[in-house]
Amino acid sequence: MSINNLLHFEAIITQNISASWLLDSQSRLSLLRLDLLHPVVSGNKWFKLQFYLADAVQNNAKTIATFGGAYSNHIVATAFACQQWGLPCVGYIRGAPQYLSHTLKDAMSYGMQLQFLSRSDYRRKNELMPEHPEYYWIPEGGYGITGAEGAATILSHATALSSYTHIVAATGTGTMLAGLIRGACAHQHVTGISIMKGNNELPQLVSELLSGEEKATFHIEQDYHFGGYAKHPPQLIDYINTCWHQYQLPLDIVYTGKAFFATEQMIRQHTIPAGSNVLFIHSGGLQGNLSLPAGTIPFS
């Protein structure tokens, strides 16, 4: 069975936002809704994985292996993609299995075999790889040039791509951002919103995934992490609720909620100059909201 029959590429739309703060700055803002690709494997993760899996199949790999935490969108996306490709897969998970998160339950339901590593073993996870030369290893978060090449295909789903002056996206490992820079036009500026606190190596990590041919410029914003990775203070939850009511826009607590907040602030404060036409990448991740107590947000 081909995975393309189950992912809804035709459902990816470009959504225009109407808001007074956009009128005030004479800017326009649209979202590329990658979250509509699939309810669980929504967003950028499938794009980052696609060429790794194609490479694995081409090299006759029998088993895929990768790493992640208990709430990792990458883990569940890898599990799903491997099931559709008919490839067995192993997920090495950071921490002890005291209870299974929604993410890990979903990953298991797609057939991923879970192996738990203590935090100290997880830090030494690269030593595992030579022990299993029979596995096709995908780096944590899909970080790598193969992942960036996959992410570069994201922009082919945007309508009127060249009309945008700015592209903004949430940034974790930097793989998607590198892909967006690879795929962007020469006149475009790409902004990554780091969702981690003080990840100062990020610009370097992104640069390492570029070919050197890119014409678009980029930078990383470090001030919108809301306290750090996966931290979700009430202010962020309120903002996500407001966006749902005002724009029917579902955002997640780890990535897109923070990045969309940042985008609004940058437009209001003219860090993104007045008169710009901004494309925000809704990179998915909504399954992460399942870790919230029921009723915290009105969708999911």
Is position 181 an interface residue for ligand PLP (rule: CB under 6 A)?
no
Toward ligand PLP, which CB reaches closer, 9 or 21? Answer: 9
Instruction: Catalogue the active-site residues.
Output: 72
When binding is defined by CB under 6 A, the residue of 83, 256, 276, 289 that contacts ligand PLP is: 256
Give the span between the Cα atoms of 209 and 187, in whole angstroms. Answer: 20
Q: Which two tokens stand for residue 139?
A: 């780096």
- Per-residue binding letters, 189-228, with ligand PLP (x by CB under 6 A): ----------------------------------------
Give, as one character, the DSSP assignment of residue 174: S
Give the span between the Cα atoms of 150 and 116, in whole angstroms. Answer: 28
Is position 152 an interface residue for ligand PLP (rule: CB under 6 A)?
no
Toward ligand PLP, which CB reaches closer, 25 or 151? Answer: 151
Contact 57, 87 (CB under 8 A): yes
Find the part of the chain contacting ligand PLP (CB under 6 A) among 83-91, 104-112, 156-164, 172-180. 172-180
- Per-residue binding letters, 103-142, with ligand PLP (x by CB under 6 A): --------------------------------------x-
Is position 175 an interface residue for ligand PLP (rule: CB under 6 A)?
yes
Is position 289 an interface residue for ligand PLP (rule: CB under 6 A)?
no
Contact 203, 219 (CB under 8 A): yes
What is the amino acid identity at position 172? G
Q: Report how many residues bind ligand PLP under the rule CB under 6 A.
A: 20
CB of 57 to ligand PLP, least distance (A): 22
When binding is defined by CB under 6 A, the residue of 36, 43, 65, 199 that contacts ligand PLP is: 43
Toward ligand PLP, which CB reaches closer, 145 or 273? Answer: 145
Is position 73 an interface residue for ligand PLP (rule: CB under 6 A)?
yes
When binding is defined by CB under 6 A, the residue of 150, 172, 183, 250 that contacts ligand PLP is: 172
CB of 256 to ligand PLP, least distance (A): 6
Enumerate long-range contacts of 122-131, CB under 8 Å, 24 or more apart.
122/67, 122/92, 122/94, 122/95, 125/67, 125/92, 128/92
Contact 165, 278 (CB under 8 A): yes
Give the span between the Cα atoms of 148 and 47, in whole angstroms. Answer: 9
Q: Which two tokens stand for residue 169?
A: 């996206």
Give the span between the Cα atoms of 198 and 176, in whole angstroms. Answer: 19
H or E, element range at 73: helix 73-85
Is position 171 an interface residue for ligand PLP (rule: CB under 6 A)?
yes
CB of 151 to ligand PLP, least distance (A): 7
Find the part of the chain contacting ligand PLP (CB under 6 A) among 79-87, 89-97, 228-236, 277-285. 277-285
Contact 141, 74 (CB under 8 A): yes
When binding is defined by CB under 6 A, the residue of 80, 135, 218, 255 that contacts ligand PLP is: 255
Give, as one character, the DSSP assignment of residue 5: G
Q: What are phi and psi of 117, to 5 degrees?
A: -120, 135
Is position 173 an interface residue for ligand PLP (rule: CB under 6 A)?
yes
